[in-house]
């Protein structure tokens, strides 16, 4: 058997030549969150509740389009795909009924990804449980299994769903995420993780709802994994592993008092019920709830609102027919009544709260619970079961363990769970930018520092000025890397989600073509990633159907780096073979001397422009902006002979620097390699300084995608390299003009190459 293309060695990924691999990844594609047939993005209500009769064949994109999308992502320098799929895609028709056509389709898409030499890890994606509770992930039947009626979520505000919102275009930005602290998610996540402890009466088909839901989720993922395994040509060649369930949330496990908003609940937006108020409105009672908005300094209360379901309940009625899905509900589980009332949390005859601390401790043992305890018990128990099931199918699978977002990771260092083939998967977003949809150059907040008690008062967490903001983002990511080593042990860490909103400032960029704010925000996030000492990232997100009107087609989000309504950044034309006599070829010996090679030749570059653009496409003539591509199209180490110490790309000065420690000299067939995007580093106009050794500029051809890379043969010990490209004026690509391409600007002498 051939050696794996990628393996975990301690804190690093390594290739068969023992070079360190950095994952430069993208989430592809978020179109997979909703069905293809019928095509139901979150602003469409028609056929929304026909949740069983759907098909995800064609998600994340049709098979005939796969080459287009993989070529594009490869062209932009990505070597890794976090492959988004949902539980619903596999098991939407009912418990145990798997969509064989979708599975076969998925295997064919992965085979095409293999042609482009991507590393792929599989992401069983969910957001606030399900499309029917305002997100993505689980099939509709899981809500019925939990005794919930999706058609009553709207009137009870048990979940806010754009598909059922009166005017979908007016669905408040980012309010979907508050569903985690509304009744549906509070209930079903609690049942999923800990139904045996908190809802022992919830028995279906002879097992507790916890086991019923978890076994079906793991079973669906395992069935997909088994089919991939039997395909015989994917594991280890394109697929490197599996991530655990996306963004796990505890529900209300560990909430100390359900009559108040927990102090640790950072987000409040729109109506903000306490868990008990949510139980009341879920049972048809009118309830006055606080209303919050999100401003420049975070959430603030604006008033109150009466939420009156007029007697309608979120719970399935007592006469509901369970026969559709073939399960048998235990008689001790009463439909038509709140599951928490049935377990003595409150009295529906008097609407009295009886046990405000019911979820603060394990009802069976009395053990105190908080988020950290949840992570180290309920979450870890599930992860262990998921991991073992998938490893039984493919023993070499790398497991990407994703604990709850922004929480302290599980303390597994030195335990049996300290799995040498595990990766810590972490999500991070600049919350202030994400929620306000504005890049604030004046100040930001060290959110991780606040959450970990770093400051005496949150006021000290405010960082003033763009340099301080960039450093703050970097330091937060570095803190998460160090925290991972302390709690999880010596494993790689990958930020499997990080990104920015593009529809900032009421879509100002879409009207003007000025993407300077997005460029600054994207550059700051990549600067943070580069300084984090992590092993890579998967940027959120690539969406094939993104447009300026509906963004990512999902809940008003607009984070895709690609849009039909924007230009793609022009790229240079690469030469196929290096010329040892050209300025882009350097050779020195490891004598400790720094050599500057590759003088810039602006005049020559302008005489033979390397920038091309197809102006025949009407969409390009109409588009106004380049969607901040110059910030995410950046150089990156791909293979390092030795141990990568640090690297950073200075976008303002178009300078890439990298340092490494090599245990021995590089061999002829395994040099250190750096991806160099031609846009920033055209071969005829770059300068390279190395601590020693020799280098060249080479073009790698992957399925007709020309990738420019710098190959560097160096000695052992401490080594460093500096690559200088074309420095451009700030904002040069912010507003290129509606009908003027970059090539036309160069021809006019206005491209400002420096």
**Residues 315-327: pLDDT tens digits?**
999 999 999 999 9
Answer whether 742's CB lies under 8 Å from 611's CB.
Answer: yes
| Active-site pick, 247, 673, 678, 732 | 247
Residue 722: per-residue pLDDT: 98
Taking the C-alpha atoms of residue 271 and residue 175, their distance in angstroms, rounded to an integer, is 10
Q: List, for residues 373-426, the tens digit of each pLDDT value.
A: 999 999 999 999 999 999 999 999 999 999 999 999 999 999 999 999 999 999
Q: So where are the chain's domains?
A: 7-265+367-539, 634-724
Contact status, residue 153 vs residue 164, Cβ threshold 8 Å? yes
pTM: 0.92
Q: Is 247 a catalytic residue?
A: yes
User: How does strand 12-14 pair with strand 7-9?
Assistant: antiparallel
Beta bridge partners of 311: none
User: Mean pLDDT score of the chain, rounded to an integer?
Assistant: 91
Residue indicated by tokens 């390279």:
688
- Whether omega for the bond prior to residue 38 falls within 30 degrees of 0, making it cis, is yes
The rounded distance, in Å, linking the Cα atoms of 243 and 83 is 10
Q: What is the CATH number of domain 7-265+367-539?
A: 3.20.20.80
Matching residue, tokens 């994340």? 60
Instruction: Return the sign of the alpha-carbon dihedral for residues 180, 186, 189, 190.
Output: positive
Distances (CA, A) of 298 to 448, 743, 744: 15, 43, 44
* Assigned token pair, 579: 């010329």
Q: Do 523 and 498 form a contact (C-beta atoms < 8 A)?
A: no
Gap between the Cα atoms of 581 and 233, Å rounded? 42
Residue 6 in 3-state DSSP? coil
What tens digit of pLDDT does each residue of 518-552 get?
A: 999 999 999 999 999 999 999 999 999 999 999 99
pLDDT over 70 at 436, yes or no: yes
Band the pLDDT of 458: cuts 50, 70, 90.
confident
Identify the residue whose tokens are 């602290």.
181
* Residue 678 annotated as catalytic: no
CA distance 223 to 102: 12
Q: Which of 407, 497, 673, 732 is flagged as catalytic?
A: 497
Question: Cα separation of 352 and 333, whole Å?
Answer: 21
Instruction: Return the structure tokens found at 711.
Output: 């190959």
Angstrom distance (rounded) from CA 561 to CA 538:
12
| Model pLDDT, residue 650 | 98
């Amino acid at each position: 058997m051939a050696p794996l293309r990628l393996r975990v060695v301690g804190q690093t990924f390594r290739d068969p030549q023992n070079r360190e691999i950095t994952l430069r990844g993208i989430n592809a594609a978020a179109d997979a969150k909703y069905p293809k047939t019928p095509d139901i993005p979150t602003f469409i209500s028609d056929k929304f509740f026909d949740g069983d009769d759907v098909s995800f064949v064609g998600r994340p994109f049709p098979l005939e389009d796969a080459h287009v999308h993989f070529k594009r992502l490869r062209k932009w320098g990505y070597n890794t795909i976090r492959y988004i799929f949902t539980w619903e895609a596999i098991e939407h028709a009912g418990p145990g009924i798997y969509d064989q056509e979708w599975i076969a389709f998925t295997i064919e898409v992965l085979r095409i990804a293999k042609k482009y030499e991507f590393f792929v890890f599989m992401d069983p994606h969910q957001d606030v449980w399900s499309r029917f509770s305002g997100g993505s992930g689980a099939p509709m039947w899981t809500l019925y299994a939990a005794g919930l009626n999706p058609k009553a979520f709207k009137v009870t505000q048990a979940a806010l769903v754009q598909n059922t919102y009166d005017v979908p275009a007016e669905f408040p930005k980012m309010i979907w995420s508050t569903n985690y602290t509304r009744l549906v998610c509070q209930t079903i996540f609690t049942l999923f993780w800990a139904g045996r402890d908190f809802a022992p009466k919830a028995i279906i088909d002879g097992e507790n709802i916890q086991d019923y839901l978890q076994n079906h989720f793991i079973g669906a993922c395992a069935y997909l994994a088994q089919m991939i395994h039997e395909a015989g040509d994917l594991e280890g060649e394109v697929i490197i592993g599996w991530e655990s369930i996306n963004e796990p949330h505890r529900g209300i496990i560990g909430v100390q008092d359900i009559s108040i908003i927990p102090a640790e609940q950072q987000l409040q937006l729109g109506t903000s019920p306490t868990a008990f108020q949510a139980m009341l409105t879920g049972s048809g009672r009118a309830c006055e709830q606080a209303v919050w908005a999100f401003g420049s300094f975070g959430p603030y209360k604006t008033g109150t609102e009466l939420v009156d379901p007029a007697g309608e309940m979120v719970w399935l009625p007592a006469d509901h027919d369970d026969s559709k899905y073939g399960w048998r509900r235990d008689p001790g589980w009463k439909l038509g009544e709140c599951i928490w009332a049935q377990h003595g949390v409150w009295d529906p005859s008097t609407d009295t709260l009886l046990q405000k601390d019911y979820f603060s401790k394990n009802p069976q043992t009395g053990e105190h619970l908080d988020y950290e305890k949840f992570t180290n018990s309920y979450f870890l128990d599930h992860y262990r079961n998921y991991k073992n099931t998938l490893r039984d199918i493919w023993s070499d699978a790398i497991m990407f363990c994703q604990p709850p977002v922004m929480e302290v990771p599980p303390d597994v260092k030195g335990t049996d769970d300290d799995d040498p083939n595990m990766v810590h998967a972490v999500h991070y977003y600049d919350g202030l930018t994400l929620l306000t949809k504005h890049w604030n150059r004046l100040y930001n907040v060290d959110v991780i520092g606040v959450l970990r008690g770093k400051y005496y008062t949150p006021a000290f967490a405010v960082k003033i000025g763009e340099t301080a903001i960039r450093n703050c983002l970097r330091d937060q990511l570095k803190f998460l890397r160090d925290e991972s080593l302390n709690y999880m042990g010596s494993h790689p860490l990958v930020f499997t989600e990080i990104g920015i909103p593009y529809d900032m400032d009421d879509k100002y960029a879409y009207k003007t073509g000025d993407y300077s704010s997005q460029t600054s925000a994207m550059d700051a996030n990549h600067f943070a990633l580069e300084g984090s000492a992590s092993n890579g990232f998967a940027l959120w997100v690539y969406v094939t159907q993104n447009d300026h009107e509906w963004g990512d087609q999902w809940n008003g989000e607009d984070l895709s780096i690609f849009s039909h309504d924007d230009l793609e950044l022009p790229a240079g034309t690469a030469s196929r073979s290096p010329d040892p006599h050209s300025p882009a070829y350097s050779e020195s010996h490891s004598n400790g001397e720094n050599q500057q090679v590759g003088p810039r030749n602006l005049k020559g570059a302008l005489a033979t422009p390397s920038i091309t653009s197809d102006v025949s496409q009407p969409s390009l003539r109409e588009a106004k902006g380049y969607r901040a591509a110059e910030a995410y199209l950046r150089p990156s180490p791909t293979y390092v002979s030795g141990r990568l110490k640090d690297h950073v790309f200075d976008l303002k000065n178009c300078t890439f620097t990298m340092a490494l420690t090599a245990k021995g000299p590089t061999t002829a067939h395994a040099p250190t390699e750096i991806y160099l995007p031609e846009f920033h580093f055209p071969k005829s106009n770059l300068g390279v300084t190395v601590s020693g050794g020799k280098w060249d500029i080479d073009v790698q051809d992957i399925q007709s995608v020309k990738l420019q890379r710098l190959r560097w043969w160096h000695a052992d010990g401490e080594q460093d390299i500096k690559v200088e490209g074309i420095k451009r004026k700030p904002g040069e690509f912010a507003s290129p003009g509606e009908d003027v391409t970059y090539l036309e600007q160069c021809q006019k002498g206005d491209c400002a190459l420096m």
